[in-house]
Amino acid sequence: MSSVAASALSDSSAVSKTPRPVLQLVDVRKVFDGFAAVDGISLDIEEGEFVTIVGPSGSGKTTLLRMLAGLESPSEGYITLRGELINDVPSNRRPTCLVFQSLALFPHMTVGDNIEFPLRVRKMAPEERRKRALELMAKVRLPEDYYSKNVMLCSGGEKQRVALARAFAYDPDVLFFDEPLSALDYKLKKLLEKELKDLHRESGKTFVYITHSLEEAMVMSDRIGVMRAGKVVQIGTPEQIYSTPADRFVAEFFGEVNVVPIRRADGGWLRRDGKPVAVAPDVSIDGDEASVVIRPEYMRFVTEEAGADNTLTGTIFNEYSLGSRLQYQVRSRTGRTFLIEVPRAAAWKGNGEVTIGWDAGNAIVVGG
């Protein structure tokens, strides 16, 4: 076993580039009662990166994070931190810190005592601890007089800041976040996302964040990994993930999209209704089945003056206002529902039947 470990480690260090990754995962698996919550993940996280793992609930992202934090140990595979194998290093000996979804603030302690907890572990002198706690409170924008406040009397956003300050007090190399913003209202969430991003930049620390919200991931991350059923199906910059999703799952996960199944025929592609589909010339797909993914904002109403590469007809059966933009649900003749989003100025004036379409260059073609 140890020789296997050694070879796997030397392999992975041979693969790693400079700068050397802070965290490296090699074929990490976690099996609970025969169920693989995490099913073979290999991932390099670079120094100072903000990496977000997104995925629906049950995709194994929390288990992955708990293994990184040392609260679970992997069933198989290797996790290294700065080149050292940490598979079985307990959480209290790892230079990493996890901000829990529940925040896990100590309810019987004041704000100050919560933040000072990791400093008490290190037996720092009381005055020094207090000084450091107040510095951190300023950093996360908590008023100084909250120092002796009962932490359970703080609002949701304030608790968030306390949890952050406490994590920073530990002074970890890597910070993990398990959907800490999920319980907050939209406005506060937006504010804290920005603050978190600022903190990331100022501190220069490595952040690994998990969420099921695409929006959160897009706003904050340098790279996004998409998880599904225990595997990372795609990892890349937000731009890459958005514009070139690896498959239909990633495309659909990243917001509302229109999906048109197509099949290969005579060097071209056909829709289910037999009409040919124009796809971008650089599309290369293995296999005969594929899907065209079109985001609603790339769908438009087709008129005689403004045609499109691909068109279809249907009837509008729903209209939503998104403020400056309008969304329509159009049911095609074959019974599929399409979503189309246009600027308010391009609102559909007519009624009854409409023709909608998209240009080949605006669609994404994914296998399967």
Partner 1 sequence: MADNSLSAPAPKLSPGLRASLPVLVLLVAGFLAPLVTVAAYAFATPKSFDVFRSFTLQNFASIFDPSNSVWTSFVWALALAFACVAILLVVCYPIAFGLNKVFGKWSGLVSVLFVFPLFVSENVRLYGWVLFFIKNGVLDGALKWLGFSGGPELLYTPGITLFGMVYVYLPFMLFPMTLGIAMIPRDLVDAASDLGAGRFMIWREVELPLAMPGILIGALLTFVLAAGAVAEAKILGGQSVITITQDIEVAFTYAQNWPMGSALALILVLIVSGLALSAMARLDLDKILGKR
Give the binding site for partner 1 (CB under 8 A): 69-71, 90-94, 96-98, 100, 102, 104, 106-108, 117-118, 120-122, 150-153, 166-167, 170
Q: What does the alpha-carbon distance between residue 175 and residue 209 come to, in Å, rounded to a whole number?
A: 8
Report the nearest approach of partner 1 to the CB of residue 172 (Å): 9
Report the nearest approach of partner 1 to the CB of residue 282 (Å): 47
CA distances from 281 to 6, 270, 362 (A): 46, 15, 12
* 64 vs 308, beta carbon nearer partner 1: 64
Report the nearest approach of partner 1 to the CB of residue 356 (Å): 49
Residue 181 in contact with residue 160, Cβ under 8 Å?
A: yes
CA 246 to chain centre: 15
Report the nearest approach of partner 1 to the CB of residue 100 (Å): 5
User: Where in 133-267 does DSSP place strands (E)?
Assistant: 174-178, 206-211, 223-228, 231-236, 258-265
Report the nearest approach of partner 1 to the CB of residue 291 (Å): 40
Report the nearest approach of partner 1 to the CB of residue 319 (Å): 45
DSSP string, 143-174: -GGGTTSBGGGS-HHHHHHHHHHHHHHT--SE
Report the nearest approach of partner 1 to the CB of residue 46 (Å): 23
DSSP state of 344: G
* 174 vs 302, beta carbon nearer partner 1: 174
- The neighbour count for residue 184, using CB atoms within 10 Å, is 18
Report the nearest approach of partner 1 to the CB of residue 66 (Å): 8
Q: In what order do the strands lie in the sheet with 268-271?
A: 276-277, 268-271, 258-265, 289-294, 364-367
Report the nearest approach of partner 1 to the CB of residue 102 (Å): 5
CA 184 to chain centre: 17
* 160 vs 291, beta carbon nearer partner 1: 160
Report the nearest approach of partner 1 to the CB of residue 108 (Å): 5
* 104 vs 265, beta carbon nearer partner 1: 104
DSSP state of 20: P
Q: What does the alpha-carbon distance between residue 129 and residue 35 come to, in Å, rounded to a whole number?
A: 44
Q: What does the alpha-carbon distance between residue 179 and residue 247 come to, in Å, rounded to a whole number?
A: 25
Residue 115 in contact with residue 163, Cβ under 8 Å?
A: no
Q: What does the alpha-carbon distance between residue 328 and residue 315 come to, in Å, rounded to a whole number?
A: 10
* 199 vs 360, beta carbon nearer partner 1: 199
- The neighbour count for residue 88, using CB atoms within 10 Å, is 9
Q: What does the alpha-carbon distance between residue 285 and residue 201 come to, in Å, rounded to a whole number?
A: 39
Q: Residue 69: helix, strand or coil by DSSP?
A: helix
* 17 vs 93, beta carbon nearer partner 1: 93
* 116 vs 341, beta carbon nearer partner 1: 116
* 115 vs 342, beta carbon nearer partner 1: 115
* 69 vs 133, beta carbon nearer partner 1: 69
* 142 vs 366, beta carbon nearer partner 1: 142
